Amino acid sequence: MKRPMTCPLCEAMCGLLVETDGPSITGIRGDPDDPFSRGHVCPKAVALQDLHEDPDRLRQPLLKVRGRFEPVSWPVALVAAADGLRAVQQRHGRDAVATYAGNPTVHSVGAALFLPGLVKALGSRNRYTATSVDQLPHHVAAATMFGHPLLIPIPDLDRTQHLVIIGANPLASNGSLMTAPDVARRLRAIRSRGGRVVVVDPRRTETALVADTHHFVRPGTDAFLLLAMLHVILTEGLDRPSRARELALELDTLRELAAGWTPDRVAPATGISAEAVRTLARDFATAPSAALYGRVGVSMQEFGAVSTWLITVLNLITGRLDEPGGVMFTNPAVDPVRGRGGYAPDRIGRWHSRVRGLPEFMGELPVATLAEEIETPGPGQVRALLTHAGNPVLSTPNGARLERALAQLECLVCVDFYVNETTRHAHVILPPVGPLERAHYDVVFHALAVRNTAKWTPPLFRPPVGTMPDWQILSALTEQLQRGWHWRTLRQRMATRALRRLGVRGVLSHELAKGPYARGTPTGGAPLTMAALESHPHGMDLGPLIPMLPARLRTASGKIHAAPAAIVADLPRVARGLDSALEAAQGQHPGTLLLIGRRALRSNNSWMHNSTRLVRGKPACTLLMHPQDAATYGVADGAVARVTSRVGTVEVPVVVTDSMMPGVVSLPHGWGHGRPGVQLSTATTVPGVSINDLTDDARVDALCGVAGFSGTPVTVTPADP
Ligand X SMILES: Nc1nc2c(c(=O)[nH]1)N[C@H]1C(S)=C(S)[C@@H](COP(=O)(O)OP(=O)(O)OC[C@H]3O[C@@H](n4cnc5c(=O)[nH]c(N)nc54)[C@H](O)[C@@H]3O)O[C@H]1N2
Chain residues in the site for ligand SF4 (CB under 6 A) = 7, 9-10, 12-14, 41-42, 44-45, 174, 181
- Using the contact rule CB under 5 A, the part of the chain among 132-140, 150-158, 612-620, 682-690 near Mo ion is 132-140
Cβ nearer to Mo ion, comparing 134 with 403: 134
Report the alpha-carbon angle 371-373-378, nearest 5: 140
Rounded to whole angstroms, the Cα distance separating 151 from 552 reads 8
Cβ nearer to ligand SF4, comparing 174 with 207: 174
Contact present, 432 and 118 (Cβ < 8 Å): no
Cβ nearer to ligand SF4, comparing 41 with 370: 41
Per-residue H/E/C for 157-203: CCCCCEEEEECCCHHHHCCCCCECCCHHHHHHHHHHCCCEEEEECCE
Cβ nearer to ligand X, comparing 174 with 521: 174
Cβ nearer to ligand X, comparing 366 with 516: 366
Please name which of 81, 62, 80 lies closest in space to residue 71, comparing C-alpha atoms. 62
Residue 652: contacted member of Mo ion, ligand X, ligand SF4, none (CB under 5 to 8 Å, by partner type)? none
Q: How far is the CB of 389 from ligand SF4 (least distance, A)?
A: 16
Q: How far is the CB of 134 from ligand X (least distance, A)?
A: 4
Cβ nearer to ligand X, comparing 414 with 549: 414
Cis peptide bond upstream of 32, omega within 30: no
Rounded to whole angstroms, the Cα distance separating 477 from 652 reads 42
Strands (DSSP E) found in 31-161: 62-65, 68-71, 97-101, 127-129, 154-155
Q: How far is the CB of 297 from Mo ion (least distance, A)?
A: 12
Q: Binding of Mo ion at residue 134 (CB under 5 A)?
A: yes
Rounded to whole angstroms, the Cα distance separating 172 from 513 reads 37
Q: How far is the CB of 519 from ligand X (least distance, A)?
A: 34
Cβ nearer to ligand SF4, comparing 7 with 481: 7
Cβ nearer to ligand X, comparing 516 with 670: 670
Cβ nearer to ligand SF4, comparing 292 with 447: 447
β-pair partners for 401: none
**Cβ–Cβ contacts within 10 Å for residue 558, how many?**
11
Q: How far is the CB of 176 from Mo ion (least distance, A)?
A: 7
Residue 7: contacted member of ligand SF4, Mo ion, ligand X, none (CB under 5 to 8 Å, by partner type)? ligand SF4
Q: Binding of Mo ion at residue 11 (CB under 5 A)?
A: no
Rounded to whole angstroms, the Cα distance separating 395 from 390 reads 8
Measured between its terminal Cα atoms, the distance across the chain in Å is 59
Residue 222: contacted member of ligand SF4, ligand X, Mo ion, none (CB under 5 to 8 Å, by partner type)? ligand X
Contact present, 412 and 440 (Cβ < 8 Å): no
Q: How far is the CB of 664 from ligand X (least distance, A)?
A: 8
Q: How far is the CB of 135 from ligand X (least distance, A)?
A: 7
Q: How far is the CB of 101 from ligand X (least distance, A)?
A: 8
Contact present, 324 and 288 (Cβ < 8 Å): no
Provide the 8-state DSSP code for 434.
P
Residue 432: contacted member of Mo ion, ligand SF4, ligand X, none (CB under 5 to 8 Å, by partner type)? ligand X
Residue 41: contacted member of ligand SF4, ligand X, Mo ion, none (CB under 5 to 8 Å, by partner type)? ligand SF4
Residue 335: contacted member of ligand X, ligand SF4, Mo ion, none (CB under 5 to 8 Å, by partner type)? none
Q: How far is the CB of 134 from Mo ion (least distance, A)?
A: 4
Cβ nearer to Mo ion, comparing 480 with 605: 605
Rounded to whole angstroms, the Cα distance separating 294 from 308 reads 7
Cβ nearer to ligand SF4, comparing 13 with 106: 13
Cβ nearer to Mo ion, comparing 135 with 521: 135
Cβ nearer to ligand SF4, comparing 9 with 384: 9
Rounded to whole angstroms, the Cα distance separating 498 from 492 reads 10
Burial 423-451 (b: 16+ CB within 10 A, else e): bbbbbbbbbbbbbbbbbbbbbbbbbbbbb
Helix (H) or strand (E) holding 640: strand 640-644
Q: How far is the CB of 596 from ligand SF4 (least distance, A)?
A: 22
Residue 14: contacted member of ligand SF4, Mo ion, ligand X, none (CB under 5 to 8 Å, by partner type)? ligand SF4
Q: How far is the CB of 200 from ligand X (least distance, A)?
A: 5
221's CB contacts (< 8 A; 6+ apart) are: 266, 269, 270, 271, 581
Residue 596: contacted member of ligand X, Mo ion, ligand SF4, none (CB under 5 to 8 Å, by partner type)? ligand X
Q: How far is the CB of 104 from ligand X (least distance, A)?
A: 4
Which residues are near ligand X by CB under 6 A?
10-11, 102-104, 108, 130, 133-134, 166-170, 172-174, 176, 200-203, 205, 217, 219-220, 222, 295-298, 301, 388-392, 395, 415-418, 420, 432, 470, 596-601, 603-607, 669-670, 691-692, 695, 709-711
Q: Binding of Mo ion at residue 322 (CB under 5 A)?
A: no
Residue 599: contacted member of ligand X, Mo ion, ligand SF4, none (CB under 5 to 8 Å, by partner type)? ligand X
Nearest-CB residue for ligand X: 297
Q: Binding of Mo ion at residue 156 (CB under 5 A)?
A: no
671's CB contacts (< 8 A; 6+ apart) are: 394, 606, 609, 620, 621, 687, 688, 689, 690, 691
Strand pairing class (640-644; 712-718): antiparallel
Q: How many chain residues bind Mo ion (CB under 5 A)? A: 1
CA distances from 23 to 26, 27, 163, 433 (A): 10, 12, 45, 15
Residue 45: contacted member of ligand SF4, Mo ion, ligand X, none (CB under 5 to 8 Å, by partner type)? ligand SF4
618's CB contacts (< 8 A; 6+ apart) are: none
Which residue type, as a one-letter code, is found at position 117? G
Cβ nearer to Mo ion, comparing 99 with 103: 103
Q: How far is the CB of 207 from Mo ion (least distance, A)?
A: 17
Rounded to whole angstroms, the Cα distance separating 54 from 610 reads 8
Rg (CA), the chain: 25
Q: Is residue 90 left, alpha or beta, with left meaning phi > 0 and alpha meaning psi from -120 to 50?
A: alpha
Rounded to whole angstroms, the Cα distance separating 429 from 422 reads 11
Residue 585: contacted member of Mo ion, ligand SF4, ligand X, none (CB under 5 to 8 Å, by partner type)? none
List, in sequence order, the alpha helices (H) in 330-387.
Answer: 370-375
Cβ nearer to ligand X, comparing 388 with 552: 388
Q: How far is the CB of 525 from ligand X (least distance, A)?
A: 32
Residue 388: contacted member of ligand X, ligand SF4, Mo ion, none (CB under 5 to 8 Å, by partner type)? ligand X
Q: How far is the CB of 16 from ligand X (least distance, A)?
A: 16
Residue 695: contacted member of ligand X, Mo ion, ligand SF4, none (CB under 5 to 8 Å, by partner type)? ligand X
List, in sequence order, the alpha helices (H) in 337-463.
Answer: 370-375, 392-395, 399-406
Rounded to whole angstroms, the Cα distance separating 594 from 660 reads 11
Cβ nearer to Mo ion, comparing 221 with 606: 606
Residue 475: contacted member of Mo ion, ligand X, ligand SF4, none (CB under 5 to 8 Å, by partner type)? none
Q: How far is the CB of 170 from ligand SF4 (least distance, A)?
A: 10
CA distances from 75 to 35, 88, 115, 338, 430 (A): 43, 20, 19, 37, 11
Coil, strand, or helix at residue 224?
helix
Residue 692: contacted member of Mo ion, ligand X, ligand SF4, none (CB under 5 to 8 Å, by partner type)? ligand X
Interacting residue ranges for Mo ion, rule: CB under 5 A: 134
